[in-house]
Amino acid sequence: MDLQTILRSIRRADIDYDLIADGDRIAVGVSGGKDSMVLLSALHMYSKFKGKNFQVVGIHIKLGFPNMDFREVVSYCEQLGIEFHIIDSKVYEILQKHPDANGNIKCSLCSKFKKATVIEAAKQFNCHKVAFGHHSDDAVETLLMNAIFGGKLAVFLPKMYMSRTDITFIRPLIYAFEEDILIAQQKNNIPYVESTCPNDGFTQRQEMKEMLHEFYKKYPMARYNFQNMLSNEEQVELWHKTTARVAKRNHDKPMQILLEEQDLQLGQRGRHFFLIYSPKQLPDLRHHKKIPHSDADRLLSKQLTLHDYMESIKAELDL
């Protein structure tokens, strides 16, 4: 099986964002589409690389859409020795009972149900990470949708720890383009199942996809620059309000304590993680040091104690 372009993308994402750790058991959310089937195949191959020690489990949630036959997918997984499970659900039945104002099923509600169900299934099969097949083009489309319809610059993360469920979401295909995935699927005859969702092809995401397709015809370099933009934190220039109202709003977000170690704590507010500590001279005063997601993951996975971590960044702290 020739998946070199996809495997290079996965390896790069793994290195940049510490997606996969030794001994991981990873559930791959398999919708049946080309993206998730290529991800399942490539992650299975990646697990065989020298120095890699993790397991891949394919999980398909039967949403209830009609005429979706997974027999070929099941046979394919059996041939490759990939553990694969199909889980029944009543998602479509519920969605039909709660349509939007136009009588269509709600994509946002469907997404929430799918994530909740796949998390539950992942835990059932002893997986503590869930991998989704979102790729680079998906990320740019999401950024545009948030900007156009939500007035914000936001995109899904390559890796995100869900403290409430103790599950980590990873997206190993973030450096792969949709075109690369389609070529890999066709070249290797990887089976897939056409979606029968009634909204398929009539969504805001589809509009973004078509708009970007035309845009890239005129500015082909933009595809790569947009991908680089998503991690180019050093050159972000936005307007920063300094009013008390904005400051109060940010500080009103609840802080969730994830770890405690004597006088040290690891907290999470929204998407951000903080080391919470007290200066030696002012033990009753609590300081919050924002830390990278990768450092928080190391702490949560017990690779590092809070005290050892504090010692390693001592020079950055107000002690």
Q: What is the pLDDT of residue 246?
A: 47
* Cα–Cα dist 313/41, whole Å: 40
Confidence of residue 288 (pLDDT cuts 50, 70, 90): confident
What average pLDDT does this structure show over 281-309? 83
What average pLDDT does this structure show over 207-236? 94
Please indicate whether residue 229 or residue 236 has the higher confidence score (pLDDT): 229
Q: Which of 69-83, 234-248, 256-270 has the lowest mean pLDDT?
A: 234-248
* Residue 133, pLDDT above cutoff 90: yes
Please indicate whether residue 221 or residue 308 has the higher confidence score (pLDDT): 221
- 243-286, pLDDT tens digit by residue? 545 444 555 567 788 888 888 899 888 778 889 988 776 676 77
Share of the chain above pLDDT 90, in %: 54
- The ranges of the chain annotated as CATH 3.40.50.620 are 3-232
Question: Burial of 129 by CB count in 10 Å (0-12 exposed, 13-18 middle, 19+ buried)?
Answer: buried
Please indicate whether residue 255 or residue 189 has the higher confidence score (pLDDT): 189
- Count other C-beta atoms under 10 Å from residue 144's C-beta: 20
HEC per residue, 99-122: CCCCCCCCHHHHHHHHHHHHHHHH
What average pLDDT does this structure show over 291-319? 84
Q: What is the pLDDT of residue 243?
A: 56
What average pLDDT does this structure show over 136-141? 96
What average pLDDT does this structure show over 288-299? 86
What average pLDDT does this structure show over 75-89? 95
Domain 3-232 has CATH 3.40.50.620: yes
The average confidence (pLDDT) of the chain is 88
Q: What is the pLDDT of residue 48?
A: 93
pTM for the structure as a whole: 0.76
What is the residue whose two structure tokens read 């907290």? 267
Q: What is the pLDDT of residue 121?
A: 93
Highest mean pLDDT among 69-73, 98-102, 244-248: 69-73
Q: Which of 50-59, 126-135, 243-252, 273-282 has the lowest mean pLDDT?
A: 243-252
Q: What is the pLDDT of residue 242?
A: 67
Q: Which of 126-130, 189-193, 309-313 has the lowest mean pLDDT?
A: 309-313
Task: Provide the edge-to-edge strand list for the sheet that holds 272-277.
Answer: 256-261, 264-269, 272-277, 287-291
* Beta carbons of 210 and 32 less than 8 angstroms apart: no
Angle, in degrees to the nearest 10, between helices 4-17 and 178-187 = 140
What average pLDDT does this structure show over 195-205? 83
Q: What is the pLDDT of residue 282?
A: 67
